[in-house]
Structure 1
Amino acid sequence: MIRRLEQYLKRRVFSFLRFLISSAQPTDLATRSFRSIIVIRQHNQLGDMLCVVPLLRGLRERYPEAHIALLTSPVNHEVMLNSPYVDRLINYDKREFLGGVSIKFVAFVKFVRKLRAEKFELAVVPSTVSVSATSDLLAYLSGAKYRIGAGEIDGEGNPSGVFFNCPVTLDWRESEHRHQALRNLDNAQVLHLNVADLSSQIELTEEESRGARAFVIDLRLQVGSFVVYHVGAGKPANRWPAERFAQLANRLSSDSKAGTLFTHGPMDDEPVRIVKSTLTVPYSVVDGKSIRQVAAILSLARLVVSNDTGIMHVAAAVGTPVLSLFGPTDPEQWAPIGAKHRYIVGKGGDIQSIQVEEVLTAAREMLR
């Protein structure tokens, strides 16, 4: 009952806003040239962010002289550093606006003033999984003359689409397996972007690569000849049993002579503990590293075997072949794009149904 009331009030508020800020919708965006563009993606998920890279690539190719800014969360800020498709990263940290009402308001107003000072001509808010009223509002507050975003997704109207004067109708009901990279591009369909390369990308510096190489050598691993395993995942349903990861590493290391390296994320204590107690081959663990340091280490691996989680996307973004394990999530939407990558999905969406032999066979083929 309370939720229904909240939804009703939300619809009424956005209906009122639609009346206040309604404006004519331009119809010739594809023929316009833009000098200053902002893309707003302030969610925390790494995979969601890296799936936006093809959209950024398309904007750079379409508008090579434009100044392109990306508004992102602190979590995703790191992976987008040095991107060749972005001129400026704008860090949107929600924590800066939490606290007392006055502090929150003053800090937010200062942020918006800085945003408007950039004088953006075009704002793009890609939405695929769900819409974000915050992102949609930020597009409006940016002061951009043209604002592109979801007006409707799969037949359901976006209440905060009121903030766009170039709303896009997105309908994937007859193409439910359409990859997230393509869905992000669908958000900018009115710009007629033509993108051939749908891969994600993390741009490493020479210093980061040297540091990773030194780290790997210190572990007595051979660059390009070790396998990385990521046993964690934020969602329990996305976690293949840790003991099976250990069994896989034991057998793969024995028959391929590949080194064994495990990554240890902030929430991976228990699966890593299980792995350590089950392994019978020499191994090392990457722990306490920044996401960029981990990315640099992954770039030196021969193969990464990972659950469906952020590290899967990071490994693919640095060009390392990835064997990803999927449960309830649709791999056709989320698995890394490219012939070098493979995925295995559990029967009925149950990752527990994936057997060690199945993963071992695929990994051996990828190591040949």
Structure 2
Amino acid sequence: MAGAGLEPGRYVVLHAGASSPTRRWPAARYAAVGDALAADGWDVVLTGVPGERDISAAVRARMTAPVTDLTGATSLGGLAALLRDCAALIGNDTGSAHLAAAVGARSVTVFLPGDPVRWAHRGPRHRAVVADVGCAPCPHLVCPIDFRCAASVRPAAVLAAVHEVLGEEDAR
């Protein structure tokens, strides 16, 4: 964190990757959330495994605000420490959301086809933003129709959830 110039509690983490394409909220939407949070005064960090570098690069290319890209640059333990000290994780329904919960981090998880009843973390430090479509949850790894679940989740809904988990004392 020190090498990246990150101060504990002063940055948010965007984790745009996921092993299944249907669990990936579009890069442009992550970029919109990242830009809005940067405008609120947060440092923005991108994370992911080495195989997700293209996904993070797509988010970074769409952002206008500065962003620290640590995709592929952390071990699992390093990611855990990064999440432990962040203000909040914004990510897909994937392992990073579970790791954030395990280390006590605040999180906002975007559920597209995934089942939030089964997988969402509960409590005041976590929010699930869920696709509003009749076909979700679904079991497909590749959407057989038009990926309407991704289009149904708006950046404004994710930002509202982030502001909720951050609480009044953390608002910038």
- The one-letter code sitting in structure 2 at the alignment partner of 1:314 is L
User: How many residues are aligned here?
Assistant: 152
**Alignment partner of 1:273: what SS?**
helix
- The one-letter code sitting in structure 2 at the alignment partner of 1:217 is A
Bigger relative CO (Cα 8 Å, ≥ 6 apart) = 2
Give the one of 13, 16, 32 matched to 1:247.
32
- The one-letter code sitting in structure 2 at the alignment partner of 1:329 is G
Moved over 3 A (4+): none
- Tell me what 1:282 maps to: 66
Gaps of 5+ in 1: 1-215
TM-score (norm 2): 0.83
The answer to whether the aligner puts 1:364 opposite 2:163 as a matched pair is yes
Verify the 8 A CA contact 2:33 2:155 in the aligned structure 1.
yes
- Tell me what 2:85 maps to: 300
Quote the sequence identity (%).
34
- Tell me what 1:354 maps to: 153
Of structures 1 and 2, the larger Rg is shown by 1
Q: Which has the higher helix share?
A: 1
Verify the 8 A CA contact 2:15 2:96 in the aligned structure 1.
yes
- Tell me what 2:51 maps to: 267
Give the one of 17, 36, 53 matched to 1:232.
17
**Alignment partner of 1:301: what SS?**
coil
The Cα of 1:319 is off from its aligned counterpart by 0.3
**Alignment partner of 1:218: what SS?**
coil
The Cα of 1:365 is off from its aligned counterpart by 2.4
Verify the 8 A CA contact 1:316 1:322 in the aligned structure 2.
yes
Deviations 1:268-308 (A, max 9, x none): 12211211211111211222321111111110001000100
Structure 1 CA distance for aligned equivalents of residues 64 and 6 of structure 2: 17
The Cα of 1:218 is off from its aligned counterpart by 2.4
The Cα of 1:250 is off from its aligned counterpart by 0.3
Deviations 1:82-117 (A, max 9, x none): xxxxxxxxxxxxxxxxxxxxxxxxxxxxxxxxxxxx
Structure 2 CA distance for aligned equivalents of residues 335 and 266 of structure 1: 25
TM-score (norm 1): 0.40
Deviations 1:311-343 (A, max 9, x none): 110111000011000011111110123221110
Structure 2 CA distance for aligned equivalents of residues 235 and 331 of structure 1: 16
Verify the 8 A CA contact 1:230 1:263 in the aligned structure 2.
yes
Structure 2 CA distance for aligned equivalents of residues 308 and 347 of structure 1: 15
Verify the 8 A CA contact 2:124 2:165 in the aligned structure 1.
no
Structure 2 CA distance for aligned equivalents of residues 221 and 242 of structure 1: 23
Structure 1 CA distance for aligned equivalents of residues 165 and 122 of structure 2: 15
Structure 2 CA distance for aligned equivalents of residues 272 and 322 of structure 1: 18
The Cα of 1:252 is off from its aligned counterpart by 1.3
Matches within 5 A, 1:49-198: none
Verify the 8 A CA contact 2:106 2:166 in the aligned structure 1.
no
Gaps of 5+ in 2: 137-148, 168-172
Structure 1 CA distance for aligned equivalents of residues 151 and 55 of structure 2: 14
Give the RMSD, CA atoms, in angstroms: 1.3
